[in-house]
Chain A
Amino acid sequence: MIFGVILFTSIVLLAVAIYGLISRDNPVKMLISFQLMTSGGIGIFAALLISGKSTFYVQSGQTLGVLLVATDLTTEAILLAALLTMVKKLGIRRLNDLSRLRG
C-alpha cells in the first residue's frame, strides 16, 4: 500500500513539474518545477526498486536513480548558467521576454 502511495506522490510531483515548466515564465518557478521533476523521477525509480522481486529490478532502479542524479547535476549547472547569462547580460527577468531575441 505504502509503495503505491510513494508512486502516487512521485507521479503527482512529475505532473505538476511538467505543467509548471510549460505554463510559467518566472525563472524561480522554472527552477522549482525542475527540482520537483527530479524528485518525482527519483521517487518512481525508488518505487521500481522497492517493488522489484528480482535483483534485475533492484539493479535497474539503482542505476536509473544514480543516472538521474548525475543528469540532474549537469542540467542544473546549464540552467543556472543560462539564468545567470539571461539576467546579467540580457537584463531579462521573465522567460517570455526571451522571445524578443528572435529579432
Chain B
Amino acid sequence: MMLIDLIGIVLAIFGSGLAVYSLESTSNVRAVFAAAGALLVLSIQYWMIGLWPLSLLQLALVASDLVVIALGSSTLYEEVRTWERGFATSMAILSMMILLLSLLPRVTGKSFTTRILIPLSPEMAPYLLMHGLLLITGALALAAALKLGGGDEE
C-alpha cells in the first residue's frame, strides 16, 4: 500500500464522519460547515488522482452550496454573527485551496501532466457557470424574501 492510498483511506473515513455529523449536529452552523468539509474531502480526493478539473468543479460546488445553505440558515435561524466569523474563515480556506490548485501544475511539472488520467469535457464549463449563477441568484432572492417574510410573522 502506497502513502497516497493511506492518505486516501484516512480522508474517506474523515469525510464520511463529517457527513454523518452534519446530519446529527443540533447546530445549523456546525452542520453546514461539516457538510462543506465532507464535500471538500471529495475535492481533495479528485486532486490526489490528478483529476483537477473535477476537483475544481467540486470546489465550486462546495463554495456555492455553502453560500446558499448558509444564507438560508442565517435568515431562518438568525445566527448572523456566527456566520460572519465562519464565512471569513471558510472563504479564506477556499481561496487558498483555489490558489494552491492553480499553482499545482507549475510545482509538480512534468510528473503532474502524466497523472491527469482523463480530462473533463469542455462542455462542463457552461453548466458549472449556470449552476453557480443560479445558486448565487437564488440565495440572494431567498435571503431577501425570507427577511421580508420574517418581519410579517414575528
**In the complex, what distance in Å separates the CA atom of A5 from the CA atom of B5?**
8
What are some 18 contacts across the A-B interface (CB < 8 A)? A1-B2, A5-B12, A9-B11, A9-B42, A20-B23, A24-B23, A28-B69, A28-B77, A32-B22, A32-B32, A32-B69, A35-B65, A39-B42, A42-B57, A62-B120, A69-B124, A88-B149, A91-B153
Task: Determine whether the beta carbon of A6 is less than 8 Å from that of B49.
Answer: yes
Task: Determine whether the beta carbon of A27 is less than 8 Å from that of B76.
Answer: yes
Query: Knowing that A1-B1, A8-B16, A84-B142 are A-B contacts, what are 4 other residue pairs whose CB atoms are under 8 Å apart, sorted by A's residue number?
Result: A36-B35, A39-B58, A65-B124, A88-B146
Residues of B within 8 A of A (CB): 1-2, 4-5, 8-9, 11-12, 15-16, 19-20, 22-23, 28, 31-32, 35, 38-39, 41-42, 45-46, 48-49, 51, 54, 57-58, 61, 65, 68-69, 72-73, 76-77, 117-118, 120-121, 123-124, 127-128, 130-131, 134-135, 138-139, 141-142, 145-146, 148-150, 153
Q: Which residues of B contact A28 (CB under 8 A)?
A: 28, 31-32, 69, 72-73, 76-77
**In the complex, what distance in Å separates the CA atom of A66 from the CA atom of B129?**
12
B39 touches which of A5, A39, A91 (Cβ 8 Å): A39
**In the complex, what distance in Å separates the CA atom of A79 from the CA atom of B117?**
35
Residues of A within 8 A of B (CB): 1-3, 5-6, 8-10, 12-13, 16-17, 19-20, 23-24, 26-29, 31-33, 35-36, 38-39, 42-43, 46, 49-50, 58, 62, 65-66, 69-70, 72-73, 76-77, 80, 83-84, 87-89, 91, 93
Q: Which residues of B contact A16 (CB under 8 A)?
A: 16, 19-20, 22-23
**In the complex, what distance in Å separates the CA atom of A58 from the CA atom of B18?**
30
Task: Determine whether the beta carbon of B72 is less than 8 Å from that of A27.
Answer: yes
Task: Determine whether the beta carbon of A69 is less than 8 Å from that of B127.
Answer: yes
CB-nearest residue of chain B to A35: B65
Task: Determine whether the beta carbon of A58 is less than 8 Å from that of B118.
Answer: yes
A5 touches which of B9, B61, B138, B139 (Cβ 8 Å): B9
- Shortest CB-to-CB span from A12 to chain B, Å, is 4
Q: Which 3 A-B pairs have the closest CB atoms?
A: A88-B149, A5-B8, A12-B16
Task: Determine whether the beta carbon of A50 is less than 8 Å from that of B58.
Answer: no
